Structure 1
Amino acid sequence: MQNKKTVVALLLIALSGSTAAAETDVAYNGQHVSLEANKTPVNTARNPQAVASLPQGFHFAVPGSFTVAVAAQNSPPLTVFADDNKTLLGSEVDIARLVAESLGLRLNVVPTSWEDWPLGVASGKYDAAITNITVTKDRKEKFDFATYRKDSLGFYVKNSSPIKSLSKAEDIAGLRIIVGSGTNQEAILLAWDKENQSKGLKPFTPVYSKDDAAQTLALQSGRADAYFGPNVIGAWKAALKGQTRLVGSVDGGWPKAAHIAVTLKKGSGLAEPVSIALNGVIANGDYLKVLNRWGEGVERIERSEINPPGLGD
């Protein structure tokens, strides 16, 4: 382990290929983001209404704490490891803290994998998952949701790519596209591919990888034609490295809009207090303070909703 350099600095150096990237500042989405400054938490006040709506006698995973599963991967601005290589920073952690403090609880962040959160939430191992989870029809059968951000997905290609636009089904025919397994963006691509094949068009090839360095290498080496994922992540990388560009964006609930949400055990009774907590920080400005400092203000919502329509509805 490198003890004399922060993980954040190492990440930025790796992404850019230059030691100059040790400067932990990024400008994108019309905003300036400082990872160093964002190590300082954004705190909020206890929300009596949210606390009063908690189910009587509810047993949290850790008494007195709000235990939240957050995907443990360097995907700024959503998540990024701090200097100790253990503590997670990012907008997801900041949102979790706002909810926890609104409920009068300590925040207990558990770094986990994307594959682990569903069973962890369903079993009560975690009180919630806050890890860029989109509301979908299928997920609502197993979980409750309280929304906190718009879901916008982006297609990114390397700067020298001949691809000019990816925004509809026929555009992806025959392409190799980096996408996360089990994600709503994968579901969109598979739906598009089914439509294409019914018309006799070439199938697309999904390129599955959770490792950022491997994704970057695949795109820059030509082993993949495009990346499709959360637009804020793609925009961050494009601004940081200057090696990729946006060629299309899609609502996460294609063909309708969908939102990212705090994900909770079905019927646990936590959806209402969490939604009240979110609406409280939306009203007092702490919510927008968090999104803006991570360059995500463009995806803000006006009000948190419980179990709204999502992908597949």
Structure 2
Amino acid sequence: MGILQNRKLLAAGAMAAMVFGASATFAADAFDLSPEQTNRLRVEKNDKRIAEVPADFKFVQDGALTIGISTSGHLPLHDYASDSKTVIGYDVDLAQALADSLGRDLQLVSVAWADWPLGLVSGKFDAVISNVTVTEERKEKFDFSTYRKDELGFYVKADSSIQAIKAPKDIAGLKVITDAGTNQEKILLEWDRQNLAAGLSAIEVQYYDDDAVKDLAVQSGRADVVFSVNATQAYSAAINGKTKLVGTVSGGWPISAEIAVTTRKGSGLAEPLTGVINDLIASGDYRKILETWKLGPEAIEKAQTNPPGLPKSGS
């Protein structure tokens, strides 16, 4: 498959640290990273959706919508603000709009990715907004209200001659960075298999643990393309202007996949939340929230409750 394992060198790490430091300065200019979040969109109470919440639904806190959310550093989705204690990002802005619509205060609870299922089932929060993809296996235990495409993006150096990547043939012979043990790696290796079967050149797959070193590899020409989560790459491109998007693929390729607000199975909260999201789509507020964090390409046309999800392994 032409797989090349790359290891970080001390010199590369030092140079990457300088790149990362510069990017942090640009981030403050391109996005509001303050704890005040004065530009955060607020919406009016939605009496229709409030009436749809089952009368017997027990919110974790009176007068609040409690959301479990990751606080790890993955802007534009979620991270700490410049005060290192206030959580900001697209996920927070969406959570605020949902809380406003239901006439409730927003209460955030930090939760590690591995812990959100237990936290939700045990009643620590009313819902989870933490980049959770709808899958058939998860639907057995949880309900979902979709709000964003699960998109993977191909990014190249800003002045690269590569203009578009839409199909396997477009990456034949290229040096492509991706993430080990992920859906994007599976997709990339399948595209490589198809290319080889068609007599095209093999992809050279590269792996890096450090985003700054990954960026340095692209800027220096040691790699042609980065194939990874679109949201975080879009953020990076927006703050430093050194890379550009040349194509997207669903995280569930060859089928589509969507990210969703996750609630307890059968709690009755999913349908009202789906309705709120569709109302935000209709009003244009949904798009405004996405654009605040440069996530316009990940917009969905309609929110759905428990749509078909990614199939179980082996099915």
Q: Same fold (TM over 0.5)?
A: yes
Provide closer, same or farther for how the CA distance between residues 62 and 174 of structure 1 changes in structure 2, counting only shifts above 3 A: farther
Report the equivalent of 1:29.
Answer: none
- The CA deviation at 1:214 is 5.8
Q: Does 2:230 correspond to 1:231?
A: yes
The answer to whether the Cα contact below 8 Å between 2:70 and 2:130 also exists between their aligned partners in 1 is: yes
The structure-2 alpha-carbon separation of the partners of 1:114 and 1:53, relative to structure 1 and needing over 3 Å to count, comes to same
The yes-or-no answer on 1:21 pairing with 2:38 is no
Contact 2:35 2:83 in 1 (8 A): no
Contact 2:177 2:214 in 1 (8 A): no
1:64 CA drift (Å): 3.1
Q: Distance in 1 between matches of 2:292 and 2:112?
A: 25
CA distance in 2, matches of 1:14, 1:79: 23
Amino acid corresponding to residue 54 of structure 1 in structure 2 = V
More displaced 10-residue stretch of structure 1: 93-102 or 161-170: 161-170
Alpha-carbon distance in structure 1 between the residues aligned to 2:74 and 2:250 = 20
Matches of 2:147 and 2:221 in 1, distance apart? 36
Q: Helix, strand or coil for the counterpart of 2:302?
A: coil
TM-score, with structure 2 as normaliser: 0.74
> Displacement, 1:154?
0.4
Q: What SS is found at the alignment partner of 1:25?
A: helix
Mapping for residues 142-291 of structure 1, pairs under 5 Å: 142-158=141-157, 167-168=166-167, 171=171, 177-179=177-179, 184-185=183-184, 188-189=187-188, 207=207, 209=209, 212-213=211-212, 215-216=214-215, 226-291=225-290
- SS of the aligned residue for 2:114 comes to coil
Contact 1:275–1:304, Cα closer than 8 Å, also in 2: yes
Structure 2 partner of 1:69: 68
Cα distance per residue 1:108-147 (max 9 Å; x no partner): 1223333232332233323222122222333323321111
Deviation at 1:94, TM superposition (A): 0.5
Check conservation: 1:146, 1:304, Cα contact below 8 A. yes
How many aligned residue pairs are there?
293
Give the residue type in structure 2 aligned to 1:179: D
Closer/same/farther in 2, CA of residues 63 and 199 from structure 1, 3 Å limit: farther
User: Which segment drifts farther, 293-302 or 46-55?
Assistant: 293-302
Query: C-alpha deviations, 1:259-280, integer Å up to 9, x for none?
Result: 2211222222211111122122
Give the Cα–Cα distance (whole angstroms) in 1 for the partners of residues 46 and 174 of structure 2.
52
- State the structure with more CA Rg: 2
The separation in 2 between residues aligned to 1:285 and 1:138, in whole angstroms, is 33
Q: Distance in 2 between matches of 1:129 and 1:61?
A: 13
Contact 2:234-2:295 within 8 A present in 1 as well: no
1:120 is paired with a residue whose SS is: helix
Written as runs of structure 1 = structure 2, the 5 A alignment for 1:46-125 is 46-125=45-124
Deviations 1:52-102 (A, max 9, x none): 222222222334322222222332222232122111111111001111121
Measured against aligned partners, the alpha-carbon deviations of 1:207-240 in whole angstroms (never above 9, x if no partner) come to: 474x644654676688977533332321221232
Tell me which of 39, 43, 46 is aligned to 2:37: 39
Structure 1: 5+ residue stretches without partners: 1-12, 27-32
Tell me if the contact between 2:33 and 2:82 (Cα under 8 Å) persists in the aligned partners: no
Superposed CA deviations along residues 18-47 of structure 1, whole A, max 9, x for unmatched, are: 389357233xxxxxx554598123211221
Q: Which one-letter code corresponds to 1:48 in the other structure?
A: D
Amino acid at match of 2:81: A
Distance 1:108 1:49 in 2: 22
Is 1:79–1:88's contact at 8 Å kept on the other side of the alignment? yes
Gaps of 5+ in 2: 1-16
State the shift of 1:202 in Å: 7.3
Secondary structure at 2:113's aligned position in 1? coil
Distance (whole Å) between structure 1 residues aligned to residue 72 and residue 134 of structure 2: 21
